[in-house]
């Protein structure tokens, strides 16, 4: 959490909070049947009306942020959504927007798509992972082959968040000239989307098969010269959203566990009176502060477009994702038997954090990236 | 000075950059590793460097002008510290002289103490140390046994202190002693400023596991102190000590505004980072090694981000002062993880040096041996955890069997 919020930011936060209270409950999430969607387009539409897909989009493209610092507003929002493990395409839509906005003015024009995504009318997602692969966006095996006036895409993507619900896919593919990105409608001929089992109950995933999918030249996002930069921007926004939503979830679960420590008694004393447990609470409190510190610092760097932004998002991801596991598992432990039950909320947060840890680079991936970015 | 007259941070930075380039000696990265345990010349050097800073108008940046400082903001200090990268700086004076002892005198000292001691330190004339811990215990500081008794106008000090870092190089120590034994422990303490060369004060150096001899122990036998040596009020020394412990946690955690130049003391701790060790051992290409170096980079970065956030939160009152314990605790964790990672990276090479020299991998090994220093010096990690859980999270306090009992009736040791 930022240390000081402006009045506008507080209002923005409050509007998100009250919509989430109305539209969403952890209990509903817990009781989802297999195949039942975790969210519907109407609720996403209501979020978009509050600006959930607008923060990092410039006003002239249909966006706008309350503080004038869109990345920081996005982070604030991610914390709110994360604090209730909110379902919905918040991450994928904003990541695609990050890419489209970064590429804006360099390749084919996507103004219409940007506006439709910002208003909530359309939903898009990033198809970047491929079956069996670890995080390696540069090594896409999906190919894009030039045809007369356009491109033909072939191959398979998986772990595509909200793939079954999306209208558009941002596909990262390898062309004869190197890496490129394409906007592909899920309704296009040759696109087959099938649901994929997901650890996080609130985030449906899909496998996407592209079988001779033909798109025109206007589907390209950016130019060969800008692709690396655009990909980096998408990654930075994905990582920031993950870190911020984890922070929001941790705040909530830590507070719950502290309260439990005061309320639950053993041997005639509250759990919070045992030094063995107090010391673990102290460690968790410290890690939590550090998680906020590094997420906020990364958000400031990405907001400012500073040269160390790439490094700072990897610092944040590698740290926050790891400490989230430490904290949440300890929260489970301090809850005792109830903590490992389906009825308790903790697993919903643990699922989100574990899934966030895995996607867009694990802590180990980001540590190696940090070594690459240092002069080692 | 009003805000309107204050030099802007950027102008101060520009002036500092030019001055440093003209005046301060550059660090020699290829200089041989200094020998642990023999650092007397470094203290002479630190005083010289401090005098140079003072002459150039760059000493005591955050201390008030009336006590010899510049009265500038944390932002000015931060800018200056950033500019000092690559230059020799008197970093030995950061902890405890400026950030703990001078900071405590500034909060709690008499006008005379502030004028004389703080300005002397800023000029590079004096160095300070802390006489707090005793052989009977350091965590339970208020349970100390060194006594001071009033004889006419003169205080007579008797007892023993220990683990006082670099006291041999210091001129004055802040010494906490018991002045009333008939009241509960916190209410019978008084803080004194004691000259390290006072007659009756005998000092020994204590060799540490890494070979350093910066630890000292002191024996006080009828050491005479004037009434003006008292810091704060007689029998209210705990209030002074509490400020001192706050400054200590803050300083050790990296949050003090009175630290100038890089806060660490690479010499004393061996300073062999996983990065350096990876290069020295030729293992930089191994993925496992790269992961560990990346982890270290991340932790160092998070530590600094944490310092910035928590210092700001304490400054604005968002966090209460015990929040400094968060920095204290995280510092120890980061320092120890760094030591462990360096050991991992050194792998098989840690057990042996280069010929008869310890070399960089050997230094990582020595550093590993004194790993726990990071969670003891400046108050232990356990005490920091007590602070966080009790003061920030309001959890029940630990049982203590000496609360509200006159100190002379408190059980000490098994007998
Ligand atoms: C997989 C599994 C199988 C189980 N099977 C059975 C079974 O077959 N039959 C059965 O009767 N029970 C069973 N249990 C229950 C199990 O024995 C209890 O969960 C366990 O004893 C802890 O009790 P609790 O859940 O009430 O937590 P609590 O006792 O409330 O403890 C909560 C937390 O506080 C800690 N704590 C409590 N008191 C202290 C203290 N004095 N000092 C320090 N820490 C303390 C605990 O370690 C725990 O982390 C099972 C539990 C699990 C998870
Ligand atoms: C590098 C270094 C530099 C130092 N510099 C100075 C200095 O300049 N001046 C000075 O006066 N002192 C200095 N010290 C001493 C330091 O402050 C003490 O070592 C520290 O306060 C612990 O005191 P102790 O060593 O007596 O251990 P003890 O207080 O005897 O503690 C022993 C162990 O028990 C734990 N423990 C004690 N009480 C509790 C409790 N209530 N709850 C949980 N755990 C507890 C401690 O955490 C520790 O692990 C330094 C120490 C080191 C390592």
Residues of A with CB under 8 A from a CB of B: 3-4, 258, 261-262, 269-270, 272-273, 275, 278-279, 281-283, 285-286, 289-290, 292-294, 296-297, 311-312, 314-315, 318-319, 363-364, 366-372, 374, 376
Domain membership of residue A137 as a residue range: 124-221
Please indicate, yes or no, if residue A110 is contained in any of the structural domains. yes
CB B132 within 8 A of CB B191: no
> Under CATH, to which class is B130-238 assigned?
mainly beta
Please indicate, yes or no, if residue A2 is contained in any of the structural domains. no
Q: Which ligand lies nearest to the CA atom of residue A279 in the structure? A: 2
- For the residues B227-250, what does the mean pLDDT come to? 96
A290 shares a domain with A243: yes
Secondary structure class of B170 (helix, strand, coil)? coil
- Lowest mean pLDDT segment, chosen from A183-192, A247-256, B210-219, B292-301: B210-219
Ligand 1 centroid to residue A30 C-alpha, Å: 23
How far from the centroid of its chain's Cα atoms is residue A52's Cα? 13
| Domain B271-392, second-level architecture | Up-down Bundle (1.20)
pLDDT digits (tens, 9 = 90+) for A309-342: 999 999 999 999 999 999 999 999 999 999 999 9
Residue B272's pLDDT is what? Answer: 83
Asked if residue B168 has pLDDT above 60, the reply is yes
A149 shares a domain with A20: no
Please indicate, yes or no, if residue A161 is contained in any of the structural domains. yes
A202 shares a domain with A244: no
In this complex, do A289 and B294 lie within 8 Å of one another by their Cβ atoms? no
Judge if the beta carbon of residue B97 lies within 6 A of ligand 2. Answer: no
Please indicate, yes or no, if residue A1 is contained in any of the structural domains. no
Task: Enumerate helices (H) and strands (E) in chain A, giving the number of each.
Answer: 11, 10
ipTM (interface predicted TM): 0.96
Confirm whether B42 is a catalytic residue. no
Residue B41 CA neighbour count, 13 Å, CB half? 4
A132 shares a domain with A113: no
In this complex, do A374 and B291 lie within 8 Å of one another by their Cβ atoms? no
Asked if residue B269 has pLDDT above 50, the reply is no
A54 shares a domain with A161: no
pLDDT digits (tens, 9 = 90+) for A225-240: 999 999 999 999 999 9
Residues forming CATH 1.20.140.10 domain(s) in chain B: 271-392
Residue A1's pLDDT is what? Answer: 64
A263 shares a domain with A209: no
A101 shares a domain with A81: yes
A362 shares a domain with A236: yes
Which residue from A136, A49, A60 is spatially nearest to A101, judged by alpha carbons? A60
Average pLDDT, rounded, for chain B: 92
A369 shares a domain with A233: yes
Secondary structure class of A210 (helix, strand, coil)? strand
A347 shares a domain with A242: yes
pLDDT digits (tens, 9 = 90+) for B103-134: 999 999 999 999 999 999 999 999 999 999 99
- Which amino acid residue places its CA nearest to atom 3 of ligand 2? B377
- For the residues A201-207, what does the mean pLDDT come to? 96
| CATH 1.10.540.10 describes domain B22-93+107-125 | yes
Contacts of B327 (CB under 8 A, 6+ apart): B249, B250, B252, B253, B254, B255, B306, B307, B310, B311
Residue B378's pLDDT is what? Answer: 87
pLDDT digits (tens, 9 = 90+) for A87-110: 999 999 999 999 999 999 999 999
Burial of A187 (0-12, 13-18, 19+ CB in 10 A): exposed
How many structural domains comprise chain A? 3
Residue B255's pLDDT is what? Answer: 86
- For the residues B78-88, what does the mean pLDDT come to? 93
- Of B126, B214, B248, B358, which residue is the catalytic one? B248
Which of these three, A221, A243, A267, is where a domain ends?
A221
Enumerate the β-bridge partners of residue B193.
Answer: B174
CB A242 within 8 A of CB A91: yes
The CATH code of the domain that includes A302 is 1.20.140.10
Secondary structure class of A220 (helix, strand, coil)? strand
Pocket test for ligand 1, best of A257, A271, A276, A333 (most atoms within 8 A of CB): A271
In this complex, do B301 and A311 lie within 8 Å of one another by their Cβ atoms? yes
Which of these three, A186, A204, A221, is where a domain ends?
A221
Residues forming CATH 2.40.110.10 domain(s) in chain B: 130-238
Which residue does chain B place closest to A283, by CA atoms?
A: B385
Q: Quick one: DSSP state of residue B33?
A: P
Which of these three, A86, A118, A150, is where a domain ends?
A118
d(CA B307, CA B310): 5
Residue A157 vs residues A61, A231, A362: alpha-carbon distances, Å: 29, 16, 19
Which residue does chain B place closest to A373, by CA atoms?
A: B294
Residue B34's pLDDT is what? Answer: 64
pLDDT digits (tens, 9 = 90+) for B347-388: 999 999 989 988 889 989 999 999 999 999 989 999 999 999
The CATH code of the domain that includes A158 is 2.40.110.10
């Amino acid at each position: 959490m930022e240390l000081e919020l402006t009045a506008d930011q507080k209002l923005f936060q409050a509007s998100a909070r009250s919509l989430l209270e109305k539209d969403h409950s952890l209990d509903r999430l817990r009781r989802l049947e297999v195949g039942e969607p975790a969210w519907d387009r109407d609720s996403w539409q209501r979020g978009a009306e509050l600006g959930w897909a607008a923060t990092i989009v410039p006003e002239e493209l249909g966006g706008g942020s309350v503080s004038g610092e869109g990345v920081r507003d996005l982070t604030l929002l991610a914390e709110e959504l994360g604090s209730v493990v909110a379902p919905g395409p918040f991450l994928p839509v904003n990541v695609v927007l990050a890419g489209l906005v970064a590429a804006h003015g360099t390749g084919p024009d996507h103004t219409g798509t940007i506006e439709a995504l910002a208003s909530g009318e359309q939903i898009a997602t990033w198809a970047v992972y491929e079956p069996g692969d670890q995080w390696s966006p540069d090594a896409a095996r999906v190919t894009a082959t030039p045809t007369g006036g356009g491109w033909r895409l072939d191959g398979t993507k998986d772990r595509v968040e909200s793939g079954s619900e999306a209208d558009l896919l941002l596909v990262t593919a390898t062309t004869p000239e190197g890496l490129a990105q394409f906007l592909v409608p899920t309704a296009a001929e040759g696109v087959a989307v099938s649901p994929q089992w997901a650890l996080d109950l609130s985030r449906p995933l899909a496998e996407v098969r592209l079988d001779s999918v033909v798109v025109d030249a206007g589907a390209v996002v950016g130019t060969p010269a800008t692709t690396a930069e655009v990909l980096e921007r998408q990654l930075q926004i994905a990582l920031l959203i993950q870190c911020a939503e984890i922070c929001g979830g941790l705040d909530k679960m830590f507070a719950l566990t502290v309260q439990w420590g005061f309320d639950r008694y053993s041997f005639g004393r509250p759990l919070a009176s045992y030094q063995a447990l107090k010391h673990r609470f102290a460690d968790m409190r410290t890690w939590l502060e550090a998680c906020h510190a590094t997420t906020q610092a990364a958000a400031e760097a990405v907001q400012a477009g500073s040269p160390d932004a790439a490094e700072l998002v990897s610092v944040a991801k590698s740290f926050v994702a790891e400490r989230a596991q430490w904290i949440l598992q300890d929260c489970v432990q301090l809850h005792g038997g109830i903590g490992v039950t389906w009825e308790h909320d903790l697993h919903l947060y643990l699922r989100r954090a574990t899934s966030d840890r895995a996607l867009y680079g694990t802590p180990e991936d980001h540590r190696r990236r940090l070594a690459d970015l240092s002069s080692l | 000075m009003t805000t309107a007259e204050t030099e802007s941070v950027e102008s101060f930075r520009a002036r500092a950059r030019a001055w440093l380039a003209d005046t301060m000696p550059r660090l020699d990265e290829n200089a041989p590793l200094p020998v642990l345990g023999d650092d007397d010349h470094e203290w002479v050097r630190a005083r010289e460097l401090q005098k140079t800073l003072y002459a150039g108008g760059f000493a005591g940046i955050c201390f008030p002008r009336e006590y010899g400082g510049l009265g500038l903001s944390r932002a000015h200090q931060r800018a200056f510290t950033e500019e000092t990268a690559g230059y020799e700086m008197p970093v030995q004076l950061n902890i405890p002289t400026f950030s703990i002892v001078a900071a405590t005198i500034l909060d709690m000292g008499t006008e005379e103490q502030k004028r004389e001691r703080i300005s002397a330190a800023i000029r590079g004339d004096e160095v300070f140390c802390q006489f707090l811990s005793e052989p009977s215990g350091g965590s339970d500081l208020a349970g100390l046994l060194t006594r001071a008794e009033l004889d006419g106008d003169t205080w007579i000090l008797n007892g023993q202190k220990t683990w006082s870092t670099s006291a041999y190089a210091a001129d004055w120590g802040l010494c906490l002693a018991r002045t009333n034994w008939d009241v509960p422990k916190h209410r019978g303490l008084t803080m004194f400023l004691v000259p390290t060369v006072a007659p009756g004060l005998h000092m020994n150096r204590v060799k540490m596991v890494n070979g350093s001899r910066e630890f000292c122990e002191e024996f006080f036998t009828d050491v005479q102190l004037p009434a003006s040596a008292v810091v704060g009020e007689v029998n209210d020394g705990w209030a002074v000590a509490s400020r001192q412990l706050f400054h200590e946690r803050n300083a050790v955690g990296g949050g003090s505004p009175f630290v100038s130049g890089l806060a660490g003391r690479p010499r004393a701790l061996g300073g062999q980072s996983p990065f350096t060790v990876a290069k020295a051992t030729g293992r930089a290409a191994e993925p496992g090694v790269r992961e560990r170096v990346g982890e270290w980079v991340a932790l160092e970065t998070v530590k600094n981000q944490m310092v910035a956030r928590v210092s700001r939160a304490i400054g604005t009152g968002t966090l209460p002062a015990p929040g400094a314990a968060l920095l204290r605790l995280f510092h120890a964790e980061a320092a120890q993880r760094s030591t462990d990672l360096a050991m991992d990276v050194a792998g098989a090479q840690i057990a042996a040096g280069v010929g008869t020299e310890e070399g960089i991998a050997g230094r990582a090994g020595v550093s590993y041996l004194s790993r726990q220093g990071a969670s003891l010096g400046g108050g232990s990690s356990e005490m920091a955890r007590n602070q966080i859980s009790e003061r920030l999270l309001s959890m029940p306090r630990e049982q203590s069997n000496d609360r509200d009992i006159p100190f002379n009736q408190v059980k000490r040791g098994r007998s």
